[in-house]
Amino acid sequence: MNAHWDWNYVHEILPILGEAALITLQATLLGFALALVIGLVLAVCRMAANPLVRHAAAAVVEFIRSTPLLIQIFFLYYGLPEFGLALDAMLAGLIAIGLHYGAYCAEVYRAGIDNVPRGQWEAAAALNLPPQATFRRIILPQAIPPIVPALGNYLVALFKETPLLSAIGVLELMQTAKILGSESFQYTEPITLVGLYFLVFSLLASALIRLLERRLGVRAAPRS
């Protein structure tokens, strides 16, 4: 065991962690793409005319947001095989992350869509556009740009939750760092490096979001 910082060891593990970082990035981007789609579906369901659909969507969103992502990951990874649907760890993790952040994104979409003036719907109706086309061609293009920064904040949040995938053995950064640590009994370097990696990327992403905010001329809700 070594209490000091060992640069040789750092050089040795850096390429391994670099590869794992790619998996983390992959999980982040795929998970977020999934969250964006699921979020939109949930948001549309929450505004459906049918009260049953509306309340069911609201309950699903509230339920997902009120329970820990880790348990949801376990539930999907260990539970789905009982229904004859065995997923590999990465896929189960991605679906869990997509669902979890989809529920958060649904609220953001809803805020965006609610903010489009009612007159837009009425004008489209007056021009004889069917509701579906109105939603897709008129409402969404106006609803999305203002919420881009808020969605960006969730991208950063999602990125920071990908280490949870290590709990079901996905070989992303955290899991790799843990394995490296248990092999050499030197936890200091791998875990600190993982922390630095997250810090650098989060700060970069925050700066990017701020830039985007300025470009779009909108302000995100503060990261509370």
Partner 1 sequence: MPANRTGPTGSSPAAGALAAVAILGFAGGLLVSSFAGFRDFLPELLRGAATTVQVAAGGSLVAVVAALLATTARLYAPLPLRWLAVAYVELFRGTSALVQLFWLFFVLPMLGISLSPMTAGIAALGLNIGAYGSEVMRGAIEAVPRGQWEAASALNLGRFRTLRRIVLPQAFVAMIPPWGNLFIELLKATSLVSLITLSDLAFKAQQLNQTTLRTVEIFGIVLLIYLALSLLVTLAMRALERRAGRRLLRGKEAR
**Minimum distance of partner 1 from residue 200's CB (angstroms):** 8
- Which residues inside 54-73 make contact with partner 1, applying CB under 8 A? 55-56, 58-59, 61-63, 65-72
Q: Is 153 in the site for partner 1 (CB under 8 A)?
A: yes
Q: Is 44 in the site for partner 1 (CB under 8 A)?
A: no
**Binding-site member from 157, 208, 216, 218 for partner 1 (CB under 8 A):** 157
Report how many residues bind partner 1 under the rule CB under 8 A: 60
Q: Is 219 in the site for partner 1 (CB under 8 A)?
A: no
Task: Single out the segment in contact with partner 1 by CB under 8 A; choices: 119-127, 133-141, 193-201, 211-219.
Answer: 193-201
Give the residue among 100, 33, 111 at the shortest CA–CA distance from 71.
Answer: 100
Helix (H, G, I), strand (E, B), or coil: what is residue 33?
A: helix
What residue type is assigned to position 163 of the chain? P
Q: Is 86 in the site for partner 1 (CB under 8 A)?
A: no
The whole-angstrom separation of Cα 149 and Cα 161 is: 19
Q: Let me know: does 201 contact 163? Beta carbons within 8 Å.
A: no
Structure tokens that stand for 86 in this block: 């065995």
The whole-angstrom separation of Cα 97 and Cα 160 is: 11
**Minimum distance of partner 1 from residue 32's CB (angstroms):** 12
If DSSP states are collapsed to H, E and C, what string results for 101-144? HHHHHHHHHHHHHHCCCHHHHHHHHHCCCCHHHHHHHHHHHHHH
Structure tokens that stand for 117 in this block: 């003036």
> What end-to-end distance do the CA atoms of the chain give, in Å?
39
Task: Calculate the CA 116 to chain-centre distance.
Answer: 25
Q: Is 75 in the site for partner 1 (CB under 8 A)?
A: yes
Shorter beta-carbon distance to partner 1: residue 133 or 199:
199
Q: Is 167 in the site for partner 1 (CB under 8 A)?
A: yes
The whole-angstrom separation of Cα 33 and Cα 27 is: 10
**Binding-site member from 28, 134, 176, 186 for partner 1 (CB under 8 A):** 186
Helix (H, G, I), strand (E, B), or coil: what is residue 71?
A: helix
Which positions touch partner 1 (CB under 8 A)?
A: 1-3, 55-56, 58-59, 61-63, 65-72, 74-75, 78-79, 81-82, 101, 104, 107-108, 150, 153-154, 157-158, 160-164, 166-167, 174, 177-178, 181, 186-188, 191-192, 194-195, 198-199, 202-203, 206, 221-224
